[in-house]
Each structure stands twice: as C-alpha cells, then as structure tokens.
C-alpha cells in the first residue's frame, strides 16, 4: 500500500509543479491482481473512466461524470492496472501546445515553455514521474507533446484500439495510444488495450507483421522545414541508425502541404458535428433555464461556454460541409486524403519506415505562442499530419536535445506494422546520448 500512497503523492507534486492533472482521486483504492498489477497509469481527460469526471479540457463539460469506462481503460483495469488520475488537454483535442484550455500544463524541462498538445498532461506526467499514460491523437496530439517533453509517444494504426468511451474530436481520425519513458513500455501498453471490440465497429483485427527489409527513408522536406537545431539532432539519430547497417534513402512527399489543409478541413468538419450534442441537455453543464427563455436562447447561452478555439472550429467546420461549399472544401479534402494515403502506402511498400522530426521546433515559449495566428499554429503540425491522416502507426522517440530542450524523431510504418515502428524505435532509443 505504501507505493500506492507514494505514487499519489508523486502525481500531486507533478500537478503542483507543472499543472498536468485534470483530476486526482483522494486515494487509489485496493490493488487488483493481474499481469498489470502494480502498473500505475494516467488517462487523458477525453477518455471516460467510471468514478472520475471527464471534461476533455472544455468548460462546457465541467461536472460531467461518465457512467462507464472506455474499453481501452477497462481492459487495462481488468488486467490489474491502477488509474492515478485524468490528465489535462486542449479542449476536445483542439491544439498543438495545450494552451487552448482552462488549465495549461508547463514543460518540466523549462516552465516558461509549453508541454505540447493536445495530450500535454500525459507527456508532463510521464516526464515528471515516469508514470505511463493512455493518450489520444487525431492529427499529432501524441507525437507533439511526447517530442516536446522528451518521452516516447505511440500512435497505433487507426482501428487497433477501440474508441468506445472516447469523447470524440474527429471520428475518422481519432486513435487511442500511449506515452511512456521507454519504447518497450509504450508498446506494451498498446498491446494490453488493443483488439477488436463489439462496441466500436471501426476496431479491427490486426494484420500480420511484415518481414523487416532493413531499408528506411527520410522525408527530406520535413527535415528542411525544421529549425536547424532540431534538424541536426534528428539527422544524427538517422546517421547512427545507418551506421548499424540500415539502408537510408531520401524521399520527398508530393502532398505534405495539402495534407495539412485537408486535415484541418476534415477534422473541423467532423468536430463541428460532434460538438453539436453539447447543448446543456445531457452532458456537462446544465444551467437552469430562465423563465420565458426559448430552447434556442437556452442552448445559445450554454454554448457560450465554448472557448474561442472551439467556436472557431465549429464555425469553420460547419462552413466546410454546408450545401454549396461542401464540394469545394469537404469533398476536395477527402480526395486529397486519399492521395496522401496512396502516396504513403506506396512508399511503405519500398521502405520499412519513414523518418522525420516529430516537430519542426523545440517546445516554444508561451510568450511566443501568444504571437502565433491560428494558421501559424496549425502549420506546426506539418510533420505529424500525414501519418495521422492516413491512420498509419507511428512513434515519437526522444533522440537528443537542442537549446537544452528534447527533440523527437518520428517513425512511421504501414498499417498494423507497430512491430516495425517498435523495432526502429528501440534502435534509435538505444543510441540516445
Ligand atoms: N494540433 C492538431 C489539431 O489541433 C492535432 C490535435 C490532435 O491530434 N488532437 O487538430
């Protein structure tokens, strides 16, 4: 029992220092038996855990108590794992720095800098305490904070982990993944929660692992887009991999920029429909209606609780799928998505994996984030969006530092080739200096 008490103290301390927790329970209860007995886990606040509130980083869900647990979480609990609390995030996952929310986590390596988002709380908890976390990515929310905080972040193939019990951002893009101090731990966590689930019709039986060919490609333009320090550190990791006998070639993606535009149109369109249910009737905040207030007035008042980024995405997403504009934006973005998938799948027939910096920069200072326009903010996802748009498995692995801040290398493999991502992840991890 003492380790349970001490673990909770560690979590509270991390929260006091770096503002990483959305909820911490009073006590951790009795330990359960099973293969994960003695494993402690943080859970991103958009995953439902019975007995704990779920707010998904948004004011509108304040006070929401889900009546059940997400499949991913209950599988881990059934194997004996203990949940130490819920971790903070950008509202509904809308962001790259975890600054679009009511409680903003700080980077443990430098508290004047962002933790990254949207799974910022997970990365901070893991970096500060070593406790692994269940995280989630739509367009880069695992790789970004993992890279900025110097931990391993794994985003599995779309459909590998059931999304049942996830407060959706964009259903065709959301993937539940993991964060941990080591590659092995992060992948073991995926294995423990993966597998088909009758409650999520998009969950899939994995394909068998392909044979490793010993050939990878670096995506040149993503190295070029990165700031010099990040580029150098990420390239050094690739060179060390090459010295172990792996063949490294260079490729260029034709659709990198377009992938970014397509992602934001599709993600916002889906988000705008998902957020339509938050009208004060079923979930979260349900203020008393005022006398003679119409339904429209009531739900308009409730929806004022959305923050500026939530409002922006509802407006842009609704616009992109409105009759008259749908063909110009939504349909076109869906076609671009197919081109991105085709391009990446073709390359992954030739190469085991594609390598790129996880982020184009080290964790930025809050004072610099304030100066970014929404479009500049979105452009920060240039390295993470292609793999996410295609539902391909990937990991961000820490490979060194620039300006005393962690740098992550991102490894992308073909659908269900988590084993290949793990293989190269362990290879670069071992070389960390
Ligand atoms: N930064 C991206 C966005 O804001 C991705 C976030 C995510 O994966 N949830 O949409």
CA of 385 to the centre of ligand 1 (A): 9
Q: Are 127 and 179 in contact (CB under 8 A)?
A: no
d(CA 414, CA 272): 30
What residues act catalytically?
44, 118, 141
Neighbours of 298 (CB within 10 A): 17
Tens digits of residue pLDDT in 41-77: 999 999 999 999 999 999 999 999 999 999 999 999 9
Q: How many separate domains does the chain show?
A: 1
User: What is the token pair recorded at 3?
Assistant: 């380790």
pLDDT at residue 431 in the model: 66
Q: State if residue 139 touches ligand 1 by the CB under 6 angstroms criterion.
A: yes
Atom 10 of ligand 1, nearest CA residue: 94
Positions of the chain with pLDDT lower than 50, given as ranges: 433
The parent domain of residue 110 ranges over: 1-433
- For residue 34, what are the contacts with CB-CB under 8 A and spacing of at least 6? 78, 79, 80, 81
Nearest to 146 by CA among 415, 384, 325, 391: 384
> Residue 41 — left, alpha, or beta (φ > 0 → left; ψ -120 to 50 → alpha)?
beta
Ligand 1, residue 119: give the atom nearest the CA: 9
Q: What are phi and psi of 360, to 5 degrees?
A: -75, -5
Ligand 1 site-directed mutation target among 120, 140, 154, most atoms within 8 Å of CB: 140
Give me the sign of the Cα torsion angle 173, 388, 191, 80.
Answer: negative
Query: How many Cα atoms sit within 13 Å of 114 on the Cβ side?
Result: 30
pLDDT at residue 432 in the model: 55
Give me the sign of the Cα torsion angle 173, 178, 183, 185.
Answer: negative
Q: What is the pTM of this model?
A: 0.97
pLDDT at residue 31 in the model: 87
- Write the CATH number for 357: 3.90.1300.10
Nearest to 130 by CA among 88, 182, 72, 86: 182
Burial of 73 (0-12, 13-18, 19+ CB in 10 A): buried
Ligand 1, residue 141: give the atom nearest the CA: 8
């Amino acid at each position: 029992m003492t380790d349970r008490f001490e673990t909770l103290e560690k979590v509270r301390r991390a929260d006091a220092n770096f503002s990483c927790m959305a909820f911490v329970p009073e006590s951790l209860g009795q330990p359960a038996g099973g293969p994960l007995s003695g494993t402690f886990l943080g859970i991103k606040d958009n995953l439902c855990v019975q007995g704990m509130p779920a707010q998904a980083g948004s004011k509108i869900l304040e006070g929401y108590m889900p009546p059940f647990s997400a499949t991913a979480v209950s599988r881990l609990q059934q194997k004996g794992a203990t949940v130490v609390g819920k971790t903070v995030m950008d509202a509904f996952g809308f962001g790259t720095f975890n600054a679009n929310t009511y409680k903003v986590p700080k980077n443990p390596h430098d508290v004047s800098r962002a933790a990254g988002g949207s799974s910022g709380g997970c990365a901070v908890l893991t970096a500060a305490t070593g406790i692994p976390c269940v995280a989630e990515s739509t367009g880069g929310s695992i790789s970004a904070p993992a890279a900025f905080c110097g931990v391993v972040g794994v985003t599995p193939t779309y459909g590998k982990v059931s999304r049942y019990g996830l407060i959706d951002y964009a259903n065709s893009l959301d993937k539940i993944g993991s964060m941990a101090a080591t590659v092995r731990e992060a992948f073991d966590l995926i294995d423990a929660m993966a597998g088909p689930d009758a409650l999520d019709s998009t969950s899939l039986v994995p394909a068998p692992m392909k044979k490793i060919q010993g050939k990878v490609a670096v995506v040149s333009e993503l190295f070029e887009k990165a700031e010099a320090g990040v580029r150098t550190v990420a390239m050094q990791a690739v060179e060390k991999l090459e010295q172990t006998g792996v063949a490294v070639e260079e490729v260029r993606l034709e659709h990198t920029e377009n992938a970014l535009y397509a992602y934001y149109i599709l993600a916002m369109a889906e988000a705008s429909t998902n957020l339509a249910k938050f009208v004060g009737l079923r979930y979260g905040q349900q203020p008393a209606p005022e006398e003679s207030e119409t339904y429209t007035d009531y739900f308009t008042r409730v929806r004022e609780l959305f923050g500026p980024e939530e409002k922006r995405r509802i407006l842009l997403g609704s616009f992109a799928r409105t009759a008259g504009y749908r063909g110009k934006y939504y349909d076109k973005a869906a076609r671009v998505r197919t081109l991105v998938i085709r391009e990446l799948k073709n390359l992954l027939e030739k190469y085991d994996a594609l390598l790129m910096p996880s982020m184009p920069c080290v964790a930025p200072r809050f004072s610099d984030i304030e100066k970014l326009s929404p479009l500049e903010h979105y452009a920060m996802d240039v390295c993470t969006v292609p793999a996410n748009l295609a539902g391909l498995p990937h990991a961000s692995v820490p490979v060194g530092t620039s300006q005393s801040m962690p740098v992550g290398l991102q490894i992308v493999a073909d659908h269900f080739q988590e084993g290949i991502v793990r293989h190269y992840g362990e290879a670069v991890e071992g070389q960390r200096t």
